[in-house]
Structure 1
Amino acid sequence: MRLLPNFSLGLLLAISCTGVAAQSLLERVNVDIAATSRYYFESTQTPQINIDDLAYGARGEVMASQRFGVVKFDAKLFANWDSADDHRRYADIRQAKLSARWGNIRAAAGVDTFFWGVSESINLVNVINQSDIRESLDSKVKQGQTFASLSYRLDAGEIGLYFLPTFSARQFPLRPAYGLPISDSNHYQDNEKNGGIAARGLFYLDDFEFAVGYFNGTRRDPLLIRQPQAGELTPFYLQTENLLFDAVYLSDSLTYKWEFKTGRELDSGFVASNIGIEYPIYALEETLQELVVIAEYVFDDRGDRAESHGQNDLFLGTKFEFAENSGQIRLLYSYDMDNGSQYAEASCQYRLNDYLRIKAKIMGVLSATADAKRLYALKNEEFAKFSFHYAF
């Protein structure tokens, strides 16, 4: 949902005021207000877009919860305003749900964000929510999804069914640009537009945790199709049916992770996999905590129809916290073994005190050939972003 600038600014102020007022009415309220900036290192190669260097903005987030007997209400509201891009002036209900548990049975309905998967690079099985790429290109940030669910708790796990009555199309910012502007008109395979249905079973067995899932509905990641004689790209949404599997195994020295997805799209089958290991390093415990080295291999036989740039790619990275538990750093690098394209990103956050923290992230396509269509479209779109947060 795009909003006018004054409305977005007003909503950001309303979020903070609402948080203060709600503290006396709700059990738990958390408010996060931030000043933001984004800097692009190169001028865009898309002449219709005139954002070439610095943009600044503001964002706000409120999380609240309240219990009424066996029923619990949870909410998370988000709003963003950007000085240069009206596509980044918007608000979203990330969460507004009611849930209740009776013994081992739990029912819930409303709006929520779900996270399925175990990988650090690309979460192939995280299929329910639409990705909010206005906030993050790595698809880790999600928009809210309307749902109703029923789950049953087992002795060592849980199984659940999900009905997703609505579908939200992806909203594209002006930058990073994809070579041409993105059309506001969306096309759907067979004119079908549905949230879908899903099921998931999560199980625990000693040091082994795994989940089996199913999804059928409109795929959240669209293909970008250039229409003849049109100077823009049109999002085209496929119908997809997925069988999903993800697992984590903890050994004495390594953590093994695997995400696997198979299914059908456009009347043909496909297979995608992300298999990885994590190795903790304890030699620097006096300086760094939870230092982990990561290696993951992503394969997707859909080629240009894949949901990410990981089609035959190796991902290497690390993540750690400082010993004082005041900062975190995450580094990630990918190499395409088909054509040698390379991508890298670095992110960090540092807590100044109980209320203030800073976040920063930089991303760039180090090299890309025309065969790597997703990365090639972003080869002049390197940027750094910074935000200063006040939370209470």
Structure 2
Amino acid sequence: MITKKWQRKIGRTLLYSALLPITSSAFAEWGSVSGWVNAQTRFYPDTSEYVEEQTYPAAAFELTYSQDLGDSDQFIATLFARGDSVDDERNYLDAREFLWLHHGENFQTRVGVGQVSWGVNEIFKITDLINQKDRAELPFQKKLGQPMASLSFYWGEQLIELYAMYDVRPAWYPGEDGRLRYPLLIDADNQKYDRGKTGKTDFAAKWKTRWGDMDISLSHFYGVTRDPYFIFNYDFADPLLIPVYEKVNQTSIDLVYPWGDVLLKAEATYQTGSIEQFESVVGGFEYTQGGLFDSNLDLTWYVEAIWDSRDQIDGTLFDHDIGIAGRLALNDARDSNLVLGVVADYEYDEAFGYFFWTNTFGSSWTLNITGQYFLANEPRLDPAEYASEIQAFTDEIEAGTTPIPQQVIDDMLALYEGTTIGKKQFDRVVEEFDRIQIDPTGYSEDVDFDNVPQTLFDLIRISDNSQKMNLIERDAYIQVDVFYHF
């Protein structure tokens, strides 16, 4: 997951951060060490379209070291590692935190590798974009460490946060033996970047205040997006999707208002750059029923809905959805909690459900059980409806026809026009097809042409928003985690 290039970058950041506390005369006593080790098994009842493996044993650990450096300074380091016995791409090491913190009377500075959480919602988090999500640990909301320097301070009753960040952590994607993936693999070693005028340096700022009983936060992020879009490499011998990261400006607001026993919440964003300009809004509420049925049980409801102005596919799973979840806290000696939820798309006939159970046992152990189920009622694209156009295009490439007849090219482009592919992505398809039309011989070396029609059909499926659940419908799973804490 972490390339050698990124290992060098992280190493330099860790070294520079470590030099700060080492120079302190307060480095006289050792700090505290804590962490956990984890054994995990994920089981898929069905095989997928691309992978027959169903059982995925894995292990992980997280180690945190904290050192006080006098009254105003602290050093924190958290390292995480995951090993998967099936998916090699899920073997990685990450510095979650490696920070020097300095506290003043009304301010705090942080330098190193850190974690930042923005937003107020529980299900759809659209304003939280400082850190890259750790997609290898989904559905849990874990994040990769982000190299940064930050300053936060109070200006009267208002909190101001300023951030300077170094580069973007590339997203993780499953490997050839992984599940919950596209039909085509992601080429995570050859990402493309448009870093804008500030290069590898990104900036963000947040202002938080209170207006009556309402908490209000305004923020702006200028940097490389954490959610790339994809382009095809047009290598039919080794077909891969290439992530494209572009500089974006995103302005956001989030609100929390207590209405009796109900917490009303909202987030809204406006983003320019990347694949297209768009707006996104999430609204909902949180409500806790304490002492349910005159017992020790507490039931908290989370209800949220998201609307996104994008009609085209753009690497986002949630755009027109409603989410409902309930968290049941048993308030027992084992700290038992049960979460049940469902997210349904109100534009397409699809949904997914999830559950999460956790409780402790003994003095140092925790058991987690997680499951997800995917429901796709949208009609699956039928390859027979695309076969004649795709086969004609494939035959012309294999024959090396120069130029390929315009009608064959137009027929292929018409197939993409019937999907929700984004304009930038479609323009890329047009440009590449123009090159193929002029000289198809460069696209036919070492190619098994029996596989090309399936590759072209998979590209069409990936380009259509109505198929996003169809692609992973057979990837429902149950996962068991056992943690030992120390």
Cα deviations across residues 5-32 of structure 1 (Å, max 9, x unaligned)?
xxxxxxxxxxxxxxxxxxx964432211
CA distance in 2 between partners of 1:87 and 1:286 (Å) = 49
Is residue 299 of structure 1 aligned with residue 297 of structure 2? no
% identical equivalent positions: 23
Is residue 327 of structure 1 aligned with residue 336 of structure 2? yes
Q: Which residue of 2 is the match for residue 258 of structure 1?
A: 266
Aligned-partner SS, 2:327: strand
Is residue 44 of structure 1 aligned with residue 48 of structure 2? yes
- For 1:276, the aligned partner's letter is G
- For 2:267, the aligned partner's letter is E
Q: Which residue of 2 is the match for residue 175 of structure 1?
A: 179
Q: 1:385 to 1:208 in 2, by over 3 A?
A: same
Using the TM superposition, name which of 305-314 and 100-109 deviates more: 305-314
Runs of 4+, deviation exceeding 6 Å: none
| Contact 2:226–2:245 under 8 Å retained in 1 | yes
Cα deviations across residues 175-220 of structure 1 (Å, max 9, x unaligned)?
2222221113344354656351100112234532221100011100
Q: Which has the larger radius of gyration?
A: 2
Cα deviations across residues 112-154 of structure 1 (Å, max 9, x unaligned)?
111111111121000111111101146x210000000112124
1:103 to 102, 105, 126: 105
- For 2:205, the aligned partner's letter is A
- For 1:44, the aligned partner's letter is S
Q: Which residue of 1 is the match for residue 33 of structure 2?
A: 29
CA distance in 1 between partners of 2:3 and 2:483 (Å) = 23
Q: 1:287 to 1:198 in 2, by over 3 A?
A: same
CA distance in 2 between partners of 1:2 and 1:164 (Å) = 18
Deviation at 1:227, TM superposition (A): 3.4
- Specify every segment of 5 or more residues in structure 2 that has no aligned partner in the other structure, as ranges: 5-27, 379-463
Aligned-partner SS, 1:380: helix
| Contact 1:348–1:360 under 8 Å retained in 2 | yes
- Specify every segment of 5 or more residues in structure 1 that has no aligned partner in the other structure, as ranges: 5-23
Deviation at 1:226, TM superposition (A): 3.1
Q: Which residue of 2 is the match for residue 315 of structure 1?
A: 323
* Higher share of residues assigned strand: 1
Q: Which residue of 2 is the match for residue 215 of structure 1?
A: 221
| Contact 1:34–1:389 under 8 Å retained in 2 | yes
- For 2:56, the aligned partner's letter is A
CA distance in 2 between partners of 1:285 and 1:203 (Å) = 38
* Higher share of residues assigned helix: 2
Q: Which residue of 2 is the match for residue 10 of structure 1?
A: none
Cα deviations across residues 266-314 of structure 1 (Å, max 9, x unaligned)?
4853100110112222351654543112211101112345553221111
Aligned-partner SS, 1:338: coil
Q: 1:99 to 1:305 in 2, by over 3 A?
A: farther
**TM-score normalized by the length of structure 1:** 0.87
Matched ranges for 1:180-195 at <5 A: 180-190=184-194, 194=200
CA distance in 1 between partners of 2:327 and 2:273 (Å) = 35
Q: 1:285 to 1:128 in 2, by over 3 A?
A: farther
Aligned-partner SS, 1:134: helix
Q: Which residue of 1 is the match for residue 469 of structure 2?
A: 375
Cα deviations across residues 335-389 of structure 1 (Å, max 9, x unaligned)?
1111111111111211113311101111121125363343333222212211111
Cα deviations across residues 198-255 of structure 1 (Å, max 9, x unaligned)?
0011223453222110001110011133333353222122321100111211222211
| Contact 1:26–1:64 under 8 Å retained in 2 | no
| Contact 1:95–1:113 under 8 Å retained in 2 | yes
CA distance in 2 between partners of 1:343 and 1:357 (Å) = 26
1:85 to 68, 77, 87: 87
**TM-score normalized by the length of structure 2:** 0.71
CA distance in 2 between partners of 1:54 and 1:353 (Å) = 28
Q: Which residue of 1 is the match for residue 351 of structure 2?
A: 342
Is residue 282 of structure 1 aligned with residue 283 of structure 2? no
Deviation at 1:35, TM superposition (A): 0.9
Q: 1:54 to 1:268 in 2, by over 3 A?
A: closer
Q: Which residue of 2 is the match for residue 12 of structure 1?
A: none
Q: 1:224 to 1:331 in 2, by over 3 A?
A: farther
Deviation at 1:390, TM superposition (A): 0.7
CA distance in 1 between partners of 2:319 and 2:340 (Å) = 20
